[in-house]
């Protein structure tokens, strides 16, 4: 089987089992690939931050919805208790 190749200006990410981490391969001294990879790393960090921010917001919204539902149930029970006590 022929090995994979990287074109000038390109890069490939892969899992390195020796280090247990993700790594990136570019052609030696390929300035265009280094430039593109740097841009991707910046945007990836921004995307990750947005994703985690959205998760924290979604979690807060879900907690508030759960509390509102619990309040609604408690209000209904209180109304029923008043009806039964009359």
Structure-token pair, residue 16? 């390195």
Query: Any idea where the domains of the chain sit in the sequence?
Result: 11-85
What does 14-41 look like in DSSP terms, one character per residue?
EEETTTTEEEEEE-TT-HHHHHHHHHHH
Q: Digits of tens for pLDDT over the chain (86 positions)?
A: 457 788 898 888 888 899 998 888 888 999 999 998 888 877 776 677 777 777 777 777 788 888 888 888 888 888 887 766 65
> Taking the model in full, what pTM does it have?
0.43
């Amino acid at each position: 089987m022929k090995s994979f190749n990287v074109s000038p200006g390109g890069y490939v990410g892969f899992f390195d089992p020796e280090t247990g981490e993700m790594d990136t391969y570019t052609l030696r001294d390929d300035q265009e690939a280094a430039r593109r990879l740097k841009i991707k790393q910046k945007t990836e960090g921004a995307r990750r931050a947005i994703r985690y921010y959205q998760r924290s917001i979604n979690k807060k919204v879900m907690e508030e919805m759960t509390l509102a539902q619990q309040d609604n149930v408690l209000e209904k029970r209180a109304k029923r208790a008043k009806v039964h006590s009359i």
